[in-house]
Homo-oligomer: A and B are copies of this chain.
Amino acid sequence: MSDIAAAITEIKALLGDRMNTSKSMRDLHGQNEAYFDHMPPDGVAFPRTTQEVSDIVKACAKHACPIIPWGVGTSLEAHALPIHGGITIDMTEMNQVLNVLDQDLLAVVQPGVTRESLNAELRATGLFFPVDPGANATLGGMTATRASGTTAVRYGTMRENVFAMEVVMPDGRIVRTGTRAKKSSAGYDLTKLFIGSEGTLGIITELTLRLQGQPEAIAAAVCDFPTINDAVNVVITAVQMGIPMARMELIDETSIRAINAYSNFDYPTVPHLFMEFHGSDVGVKDQSESMASIISEFGGGDFQWSTKTEDRNRLWAARHQAYNATKALFPGQLGMSTDICVPISKLAQAIEDTQNDLNECGVTAAIIGHVGDGNYHTLMFSDPNHPEQLALNKQLAHRMAERALEIHGTVTGEHGIGVGKMKYMAQEHGDALSLMVDIKRAFDPQNIMNPGKMVPMN
């Protein structure tokens, strides 16, 4: 039987004040960026070393106390909600960049380092870490949720950008996976197994990340289109032609309206593509020209390439603010963001179907997406005083998920399973879900690591 109080007492003896059970701290870690009810944990621990994480986990294991790893809480599916109570382990005090191996294009970091702080530390090296989900998430959280974002179309997701890790297992053992070599055929790929496991198999305490050289040239552009379909067809053609886009973002009419208001732009209120190319001067020019010819073929508007850093920064800041900008369009409303990822050939149809669903139900929503990967998001709003509106939004999200599965896609391209998408695990994976249960049971027989998430254990 679980004895959370006993675990807390033991951890207090280890960490002192860094085992915090104040109401305010618990409340802070009971929040979520999604639409789920507030749910505070029984306490919050702030370890500073791998050994402390191991000791905390051992204390929890002894008392069968649930453990919920926490980065900065930017998950959109409530990954860190303590649905069975227990102790949240806040990793933000493990926030050191341990080693920049510039010649190997690698960085060794603690999991509480955020992507922006890593990139700030890297500035002088000419290197950068490319994965960019928008939120300034911790790298541990990004790994645990297999995050991606605007640049995944070029540089891959966390799946492709974590070489090695150190993990504290549910019994407190400290293990290391992977090496600094670019590839290996030695053994089961445990690194990939922990990436995206949402804290259900262990706690990541160190990461070796792949870096990229700052490209010689970067060009960004914004282009408007008569319809979403035209914009998406541009992207499909570019993907099929193998044009190496660094970013390729669809912004629908509603989102453009939001961005104009929030970030002080004056784009025409029609669908847009925001895009970026990285490479040599010659390469970027070449790619831009190929893109321009595809855009004109599909009726895209005039556009200009911008190579100025400040213009690009302003553009991508606006893109990253789109979520908050759209929320600001609907003050007092509850936002719900959902995402799916589909094969590129089905993308235009999938988005059109979603738009039709939204129109049919009279729901105002924004569609925005990393369309170069076939990944898009719908952000819907509801009045907190009318819970039936949230119920309708959930139903629309459900249609998106079902459609994704019908066309050989996935119920989430990057937001993850968390609490919100548990119900699709069986539908997406079929019998393969039982293999995930086998792994969970083998690694965490007491089911103390973020219980109730990812795999159904009952």
From B180, B286, B410, contact of A181 by CB (8 A): B410
A271 interfacial by beta-carbon distance below 8 Å: no
A421 touches B186 (CB 8 A): yes
Question: A287: which B residues are within 8 A, CB to CB?
Answer: 280, 283
- B-binding segment of A42-50, A89-97, A338-346: A338-346
A374 touches B408 (CB 8 A): no
Question: A280: which B residues are within 8 A, CB to CB?
Answer: 286-287, 290
A362 interfacial by beta-carbon distance below 8 Å: no
A285 and B177 CA atoms in complex are apart in Å by 40
**Candidate in A152, A283, A441 with the most chain B CB atoms within 10 angstroms:** A283
A193 touches B196 (CB 8 A): no
A182 touches B374 (CB 8 A): yes
A184-B410, A188-B454, A192-B192 are known contacts. Are A432 and B241 too (CB-CB below 8 A)? Answer: no
B414 touches A106 (CB 8 A): no
A387 interfacial by beta-carbon distance below 8 Å: no
A253 and B458 CA atoms in complex are apart in Å by 62
Question: A148: which B residues are within 8 A, CB to CB?
Answer: 183, 185
A360 interfacial by beta-carbon distance below 8 Å: no
Question: A434: which B residues are within 8 A, CB to CB?
Answer: 175
A215 touches B242 (CB 8 A): yes
Min CB–CB distance A241 → chain B (angstroms):
7
Min CB–CB distance A214 → chain B (angstroms):
9
A10 interfacial by beta-carbon distance below 8 Å: no
A39 interfacial by beta-carbon distance below 8 Å: no
Question: A181: which B residues are within 8 A, CB to CB?
Answer: 341-343, 374-375, 404, 408-410, 413
**Candidate in A181, A187, A236 with the most chain B CB atoms within 10 angstroms:** A187
A425 and B187 CA atoms in complex are apart in Å by 7
Question: A286: which B residues are within 8 A, CB to CB?
Answer: 280, 282-283, 286
B438 touches A443 (CB 8 A): yes
Instruction: Name A195-216 residues within 8 Å CB distance of B.
Output: 195-197, 201, 212-213, 215
B159 touches A189 (CB 8 A): yes
A5 interfacial by beta-carbon distance below 8 Å: no
A103-B240, A176-B430, A192-B192 are known contacts. Are A416 and B185 too (CB-CB below 8 A)? Answer: yes
B186 touches A432 (CB 8 A): no
A436 interfacial by beta-carbon distance below 8 Å: yes
A145 interfacial by beta-carbon distance below 8 Å: yes
A373 and B438 CA atoms in complex are apart in Å by 34
B175 touches A185 (CB 8 A): no
A25 interfacial by beta-carbon distance below 8 Å: no
A160-B160, A183-B373, A410-B184 are known contacts. Are A175 and B344 too (CB-CB below 8 A)? Answer: no
Question: A433: which B residues are within 8 A, CB to CB?
Answer: 187
B186 touches A193 (CB 8 A): no
A187-B428, A196-B185, A283-B286 are known contacts. Are A410 and B344 too (CB-CB below 8 A)? Answer: no
**Candidate in A152, A341, A417 with the most chain B CB atoms within 10 angstroms:** A341
B152 touches A183 (CB 8 A): yes
A146 interfacial by beta-carbon distance below 8 Å: yes
A174 and B429 CA atoms in complex are apart in Å by 12
A424 touches B186 (CB 8 A): yes
From B180, B241, B373, B443, contact of A408 by CB (8 A): B180
A101 interfacial by beta-carbon distance below 8 Å: yes
A240 touches B442 (CB 8 A): no
A196-B187, A282-B286 are known contacts. Are A175 and B432 too (CB-CB below 8 A)? Answer: yes
Min CB–CB distance A458 → chain B (angstroms):
17
Question: A283: which B residues are within 8 A, CB to CB?
Answer: 279, 282-283, 286-287
Look across to chain B and name the residue whose beta carbon is closest to the beta carbon of A182.
Answer: B373
Question: A375: which B residues are within 8 A, CB to CB?
Answer: 181-183
A190 interfacial by beta-carbon distance below 8 Å: yes
Question: A416: which B residues are within 8 A, CB to CB?
Answer: 185-186
0/1 string, A41-82, CB within 8 A of B gives 1: 000000000000000000000000000000000000000000
3 nearest CB pairs, A to B: A103-B345, A184-B410, A192-B192
> Would you give 8 A-B contacts (Cβ < 8 Å), ordered by A?
A101-B343, A104-B343, A181-B375, A184-B341, A186-B412, A186-B429, A187-B428, A189-B196
